């Protein structure tokens, strides 16, 4: 039996947040923006497992070790209605090419269907050609023309 055949997917638990955060940092390094990860473990745990959880994730495990995850939340589009927003999907580098990303992505498609949502959306960097090609295998649309805007916590707190 190969390692890929021993991968299990399950809903993330609070105890998984430390490993998920490590993988988020790995993703940020890959995306050339490690300094942008400012969320604390406590904030992540509260946002996912506190009184008002705002995200859910699935983890891919091999022998109890998390090798990948897909984290999402439900967003509302005034044009399309309720949709699953796939915030991050990552398989740690040593485990790529073993169809774990496929398992996680397809789990997100099933989740969107089971929740009765009107679709699924996500972002991909325009230079991340392997990811773009991966998503195109599903017949998805990769858009152009939209720029992301954001304000930091400090900017919000300092608003007068």
**Residues catalogued as catalytic:** 135
Which two structure tokens, joined as six digits, stand for 116?
């009765």
Long-range contacts made by residues 51-57, C-beta under 8 angstroms, separation at least 24? Answer: 55/87, 56/11, 56/12, 57/11, 57/12, 57/16, 57/20
Number of H helices and E strands in the chain, helices first, is 5, 5
Tokens of 80: 């399309």
Specify burial of residue 60 (Cβ count, 10 A radius: 0-12, 13-18, 19+): buried
Through-space distance between the first and last CA atoms of the chain, rounded to whole angstroms: 61
């Amino acid at each position: 039996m190969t390692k890929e055949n021993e991968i299990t997917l399950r809903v993330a638990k609070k105890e998984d947040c430390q490993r998920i955060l490590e993988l988020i940092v790995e993703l940020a390094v890959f995306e050339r923006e490690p300094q942008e990860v400012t969320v604390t473990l406590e904030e992540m745990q509260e946002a996912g497992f506190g009184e008002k959880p705002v995200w859910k994730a699935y983890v891919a495990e091999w022998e109890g070790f998390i090798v990948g995850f897909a984290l999402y939340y439900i967003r509302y589009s005034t044009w399309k209605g309720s949709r699953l927003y796939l915030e991050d999907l990552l398989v740690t580098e040593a485990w790529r090419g073993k169809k774990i990303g496929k398992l996680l992505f397809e789990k997100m498609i099933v989740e969107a269907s089971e929740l009765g949502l009107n679709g699924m959306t996500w972002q991909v960097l325009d230079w991340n050609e392997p990811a773009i090609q991966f998503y195109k295998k599903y017949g998805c649309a990769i858009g152009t023309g939209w720029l992301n805007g954001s304000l930091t916590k400090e900017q919000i707190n300092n608003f007068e």
